[in-house]
Structure 1
Amino acid sequence: MKQVKVAVIGASGYTGQELLRILLRHQGVELVCATSRQYAGQMLEDVFPRFRHVPGADLRFTDSDVPAVAATGAEVAFLALPHGVAAAYARGLVDAGVKVIDLSADFRISDPAVYEEFYDKPHPDLDLLKEAVYGMPEWHGEEIRKARLIASPGCYPTSILLPLIPLLKAGLLETEGIVVCSSSGVSGAGRKADISLLFCECNESVRAYGVPKHRHLSEIEQELGAAAGEKIVISFTPHLVPVNTGICTTTSAKLKPGADPAQIGKTLEGAYKNAPFVRLLGANKCADTKNVTRTNFVDIGWAYDPRTGRIVLMSAEDNVIKGAGGQGVHAFNVLCGFDPTEGLWII
């Protein structure tokens, strides 16, 4: 198998750590660079003892300097950086001939006005934004294969879009009145010091946040609108739950008059019959985070409520793998011509 030289920028956060875990066991990857200002000079296996004795884990973290990253010979770079920071690195790396998979939100929103509305500042690189490809492999494989810059989807959007997109494309659902409630583990907030994320603040408690306009709404509504062929506005309420990882999402949408509820399962099965990481549970089956954490799978179940005429879609995923690093590696496999599952059979 050919090997591609890979860099991970911002490799010491939760997503960065999962990326390293996957890439170190990927047969088609030569990990040549991992950056962290905090841990520069230290070996991966010293910062993350779980990597001890793993081939390649003696690589040392370096500072996040674009020319230095390019000098390593990296052909593809993953950006595991905060939004607003990633764009500058993307520009420098793309200009240096390095293909970029950005796990931040900087290139997910195609309309710069919407980006500014949700992220409170103008988009930092409009020219590069124009060529960014939304990196959901189940729906954008052809575009990913030809891309220089891939915008990997967010964690909440992944759990919402995968169940809804095929049903909207098939015209089975009303586009108004879609309601989504999601719950995420604390790792979704990132690896940082924050009083609200301390153990005693989160344990034995569940709370909503980001109400009524969570930033991921911009991305979710953009992709749902593209699937439906019209503007879509949804109600989305995220919650923080006291677990490390995992997202559980419940989506409710009105079935169109005359639509057959039996078509829900058939449509999902048709859409994902060749999607290795989408597991369809069937009708009246509820997705459970314990079955997907530390994997790249998303589980999807559904139910029809005849009292309300609504479809209930239930999904579960790991927010830092299928919702971040694993999905990025899936896109990397498509980009580089590897088997889509390479490095991702983790259970």
Structure 2
Amino acid sequence: MSTYETIIKHLGDQTEYLLDHVSQKITKDELQIPNGETVDQVFANSNRNAQTLRSLSQLYGNGNLGGTGYLSILPVDQGIEHSALFSFYKNPDYFDPENIIKLAIEAGCNGVVSTFGGLGLYARKYAHKVPFIVKINHNELLTYPSKYDQTLFGTVKEAWNMGAVAIGATIYFGSEESNRQLKEISEAFAEAHSLGMVTILWCYTRNEAFKTDTEDYHSSADLTGQANHLGVTIQADIIKQKLPTTNYGFKNIGFGKYDDVMYKTLTTEHPIDLCRLQVANCYMGKIGLINSGGGSKGESDLAEAITTAVINKRAGGSGLILGRKAFQRPFKEGVELLHGVQGVYLENKVTIA
């Protein structure tokens, strides 16, 4: 079975809906489309220094998607964010962070994201074999009652010393601590760029008011799009965001700035158009948008991952950052799942909508 036939098989009854859609609100001609010259076309005239350009090239040039402008990144920091027992009980091998790194290498990922401790333990063995991305802040889960706040776990210089090409960080936009996080990460990104490192921002929304009795707007296209726009404003080189599942967050919650016309002008209800709104907020795709793969649900994981990849690619996104669907299963199956996702970005028949 060819890669394209595999994609169609997993899309099922959504095949025509997703593969034949043409975006007419924000057209593909307005976007920076990922390609093998992305680093030169986007960053060569920017304020990023030569070392940062080299790190970007190393990240975009590694793995099965190397040289395409697309990214397949393995993130495993769930031991902090979701607790280690809950994250790794399905496959206890991943309590040992070496297996996380091995999975990224075997699957041909562009890079691997994990913690200071996990990557630092094996830095001399692997930092020159696969690009390291150190996640510098986390929401630890042992405080009771639970709180939602990102705390720095180390310094940018520590990440640089272990040979990392990039740092990753999360800001909970909309939360009580978001202004402090914004200041901390802005400063961290400036230091990272001065040292020649790439910056990746998890642009997540967090506010109890964003979830109403009828809808959860944490993943609405307008709120996540604005979070993306704040992320590129502090000079993130890559934006990580959840795939949008709804819209009208500003309007239906009743805050911020909104107008009915802006929704009609920029997007539709189609998932590709909702994702394109996220891409547009990343300077029309000049800063790459990578969507997250979501949690593992079992047998449907591959189909869901391929569907997410199709939506991201056709919207003008730059790839997937997929973890739990891959590492919460046997090693070989995790590799095959990541290869399935990468196949979407390598398949020329899956085009920009």
TM-score, normalization by structure 1: 0.30
Structure with bigger strand share is 1
Structure with bigger helix share is 2
Bigger relative contact order, structure 1 or 2, given CA contacts below 8 A and separation 6+?
2
The structure number with the bigger radius of gyration is 1
TM-score, normalization by structure 2: 0.29
